[in-house]
Amino acid sequence: MAVADIVSVRAGIGSATGVADADPISTELIRHGLDAAAKQMGLTLQRTAFSPVIYEVLDFAAALYDRDLRLLAQADSLPMFLGTMSFCIEAAVRHLGGVERLEPGDVIFSTYAYDIGSHQQDAAVVVPTFLDEELVGYATIKAHQMDIGAKAVYCTDTTDIFQEGMILPSVRLYRGGELQDDLWRTVLANSRMPRALAGDLQAMITAAKTGTSGLLRLINRHGFDRFRTCVERMFDHAETLTRKVLEAVPDGRYVGRGAIDSNGVSDELIPFEVAVEVRGSDVVIDFSNSPPEQPGPINCPLPTTVSAARVAMMAFAMGRESANEGHFRPFEVRTRPGTLFHPRPPAPVFMYWWPAAIAVDLIHRALSDAMPEAIPAGSGGDLCVTSWWGHTDDGSFWVDNTDHAVGVGATYDGDGGGPLMHITGSGIRNPPVEVWEARHPVIIENFEYAQDSAGAGRYRGGLGTNVHYRALRDCNVTVAWERTKTPPWGLHGGHEARPSSFWIRYPDGSAETYGKVTGLPVPPGAVIEVHTGGGGGFGLPEQRSPAEVHSDLREGYVSEEAARRDYPHAFRSTPREG
């Protein structure tokens, strides 16, 4: 398939005047006020949503944008959604005929993957914000819906987006404050879980309106002109902070190479690379040499490709501040339409997250020699998503998703952490075991650190986990896993860690392993074994102190066999206590 010319994406720059006159105290008050308004959006969504994937797992984005589609503030949730919603807002305005067609009380709803940058389950709402009939910004929410009419509740084998759920390309659920009842009923009719979908959509709309209220309070308090001037100063300050960090990176072109386990419909590895070009404090993240778009659903739409590049760079460049558009200004993202990281409709995208997560790791790997004190070794590299569904005794339908934590790579000055969620999903939480068992016909028989899962090194990686679920009745499982074939890498002499693996042990004693599979039947009594990957080691193992090796032995992090293999020097003499 022929591919088009390279596309370049940069953050919005803006053209305000009088920035030098912006009051720094007012600027800080507005910045923190915007952060508070975005966080209030997130809290409102958590407290009113129907589905655990939203209120427990936090699989959502909540953000405020100005009228020029520049990020003002975003609630703490999923890093991978960092800044993607500008694409969604732009598409919504375009589809509806421009800003002049918007009016107070509008609520725009989209599930179209190529606009929202996610699979269609990540439905989005956009609420334009008006002050005295003047458009001043947007509040937007994107949140995972448990079912929105795809071929299965969760999919790994789709071949176009028409199999991936209901497509609504930016339509008005509310027009001028009036619910469009025909459209509302159509949306709910396309879900296996209409009650949950209705509750979650109303929660999203309420949360977005909470954001518009917070934005208007700030504007009314400070005045629109002062607000705009202070926002420009806020953006400039964020850009300055980011550039100061980037200036320390040596100029050059750095390339990270890796592979995706499979595309979901065939089992072959898909190698790819990401290049990072540094010139002063300007950075280009280049995906243009990616393989062609795939027949299976691992294609990553442009908005998430941009987001992945930003997440990777901001992980070490942003510090502790909440993100806004100014932080993104030093970054340019290059792609080529028709490829894995810039697919074209109707290429399937249900597993869009997986290549993006690997790309984040590869960007870090590319920079590991240039920034050895800032880049950790490889992590388990995946969210290890498992989706479950079935029917209860009364015939009602239940469904839930489970993500799993992995080991984190070691750094130049310490052991890897974890188990933790991969950086792209680091806002994700899992329900307690007791809550999970109370809601679903499953018993969790084992939940432990995975001994010997970490990579050896001067500093060892973090440990993965072993989790065993026993099914109490018939159900179905979709396994959406990556990094089962490519072990997490060590750095600067550190060793690789254990890759992830997923097993089902059936009641008859047989066992099968899976990487990606949709709707796998699981009979009562079967045990699902989740083995998540560890983190890679950093530095040569022979440089690890014997005392640290023996501490790991006492804690059970490493077996004596593995310790003697990887750290023979630690057994030549008895280490001192402490």
Q: Which of 184, 219, 242 is the last residue of a domain?
A: 242
φ, ψ of residue 8 to 5 degrees: the values are -120, 135
The reply to whether 237 and 384 lie within a common domain is no
Distance between CA atoms of residues 434 and 99, nearest Å: 49
Interior CA angle at 424 toward 418 and 428, to 5°?
Answer: 65
Instruction: Supply the pLDDT for residue 76.
Output: 87
Q: What is the largest CA-CA distance in the chain?
A: 79
Instruction: Supply the pLDDT for residue 578.
Output: 46
Give 395's pLDDT tier (boundaries 50, 70, 90). confident
Residue 286 falls inside a structural domain: no
CA-atom Rg of the chain in angstroms: 24
Q: Structure tokens of 386?
A: 């498992």
Kindly report the number of other CB atoms within 10 A of residue 554's CB atom: 8
Residue 323 falls inside a structural domain: no
Instruction: Supply the pLDDT for residue 439.
Output: 85
Give 16's pLDDT tier (boundaries 50, 70, 90). very low
Instruction: Supply the pLDDT for residue 134.
Output: 96
Distance between CA atoms of residues 522 and 68, nearest Å: 50
Residue 311 falls inside a structural domain: no
Residue 320 falls inside a structural domain: no
φ, ψ of residue 146 to 5 degrees: the values are -65, -35
pLDDT at 274 exceeding the cut of 70? yes
Instruction: Supply the pLDDT for residue 1.
Output: 42
Instruction: Supply the pLDDT for residue 17.
Output: 45
Instruction: Supply the pLDDT for residue 132.
Output: 92
pLDDT at 331 exceeding the cut of 70? yes
φ, ψ of residue 168 to 5 degrees: the values are -125, 105
Report, as an integer, the average pLDDT of 513-526. Answer: 97
Give 15's pLDDT tier (boundaries 50, 70, 90). very low
Number of residues assigned to the chain? 578
Report, as an integer, the average pLDDT of 122-137. Answer: 97
Distance between CA atoms of residues 544 and 569, nearest Å: 9
Instruction: Supply the pLDDT for residue 576.
Output: 54
HEC sequence for 285-311: EECCCCCECCCCCCCCCHHHHHHHHHH
Report, as an integer, the average pLDDT of 176-197. Answer: 97
Instruction: Supply the pLDDT for residue 396.
Output: 85
φ, ψ of residue 556 to 5 degrees: the values are 85, 10
pLDDT tens digits, one per residue of 437-448: 988 899 999 999
What percentage of the chain exceeds 70 in pLDDT? 97
Instruction: Supply the pLDDT for residue 213.
Output: 98
φ, ψ of residue 400 to 5 degrees: the values are -155, 155
Instruction: Supply the pLDDT for residue 19.
Output: 61
Q: Would you list the DSSP string of 465-477?
A: EEEEEEESS-EEE
Q: What ranges in 20-147 are assigned the alpha helix state H? A: 24-48, 52-55, 85-95, 113-116
Spatial neighbors of 418 by CB under 8 A, at least 6 apart, are 379, 380, 405, 406, 407, 408, 462, 463, 464, 534, 535
Report, as an integer, the average pLDDT of 320-340. Answer: 94
Instruction: Supply the pLDDT for residue 4.
Output: 63
Report, as an integer, the average pLDDT of 407-430. Answer: 91
φ, ψ of residue 563 to 5 degrees: the values are -65, -45
Coil, strand, or helix at residue 105? coil
Q: Structure tokens of 246?
A: 């980037």
pLDDT at 577 exceeding the cut of 80? no
Instruction: Supply the pLDDT for residue 435.
Output: 83
Domain span holding position 124: 11-242
Q: Which of 175, 48, 202, 190 is nearest to 108 (CA)?
A: 175
Coil, strand, or helix at residue 554? helix
Q: Structure tokens of 410?
A: 């070691």
Distance between CA atoms of residues 268 and 258, nearest Å: 13
Distance between CA atoms of residues 268 and 271, nearest Å: 10
Distance between CA atoms of residues 455 and 446, nearest Å: 23
Q: Is the peptide bond before 419 cis (omega within 30 degrees of 0)?
A: yes
Instruction: Supply the pLDDT for residue 429.
Output: 82
- pTM listed for this prediction: 0.95
pLDDT at 20 exceeding the cut of 80? no
Q: What is the DSSP pairing of strand 7-10 with strand 331-335?
A: antiparallel
Q: Which of 222, 242, 262 is the last residue of a domain?
A: 242
Residue 353 falls inside a structural domain: no
pLDDT at 3 exceeding the cut of 70? no
Q: Which of 176, 209, 242 is the last residue of a domain?
A: 242
Spatial neighbors of 572 by CB under 8 A, at least 6 apart, are none
Residue 307 falls inside a structural domain: no
Residue 339 falls inside a structural domain: no
The count of domains in the chain is: 2
pLDDT tens digits, one per residue of 457-477: 999 999 999 999 999 999 999
pLDDT tens digits, one per residue of 501-511: 999 999 999 99
Within a 13 Å sphere around the CA of 212, how many CA atoms are in the beta-carbon half? 25
Instruction: Supply the pLDDT for residue 418.
Output: 83
Give 234's pLDDT tier (boundaries 50, 70, 90). very high
Q: What is the pLDDT of the chain when averaged over all its residues?
A: 94
Which stretch of 73-87, 133-147, 286-300 has the lowest confidence by average pLDDT?
A: 73-87
Instruction: Supply the pLDDT for residue 305.
Output: 97
